[in-house]
Structure 1
Amino acid sequence: MSSDFAIDLSAHEMLRRAHVLDAVGPDWDPGEALRGEQEAYALLYSGLDADQQRVYAELVAAGVLPGRGDGHAAP
């Protein structure tokens, strides 16, 4: 015996999105948020010494960390 069971969550998803937009507020700028994240990422991996740079490159090559531009951390 087989029965199909389906739940439509589209109304719940719309409510969830409304709550997210309400939480971030009217002044939220997604482009600025992305730029801020990119700047923080660049700072996080800046100033690595040679050994740290080697480990960073290995982690990028292994797919653990995302690659950036030329594959090197920011100077």
Structure 2
Amino acid sequence: MNRNQGSRLFRLASRLLKYFLLALFGLAIAYVVSITFGVVNIALILPLVFDWVGRLGLILFCLIAITVIFESLR
């Protein structure tokens, strides 16, 4: 195995982090566009969105912590 190549767990964690951050960026753009066009219904689903984003962020943080521990033991 090449030392510069990460393990499968590291690649998975980095890929999930990339898509999580892209989803947050997309949600931010959708929120700004909806505010610009005056859509009021977006405010009704914000608590649900924040709940899901928080939970997914916590799961991703735990996965990254596990990856850091395994990579440091390697």
Higher share in helix: 2
Normalising to structure 2: TM-score of the pair? 0.35
Q: Which is bigger in relative contact order (C-alpha 8 A, separation at least 6)?
A: 2
Structure with the greater alpha carbon radius of gyration: 1
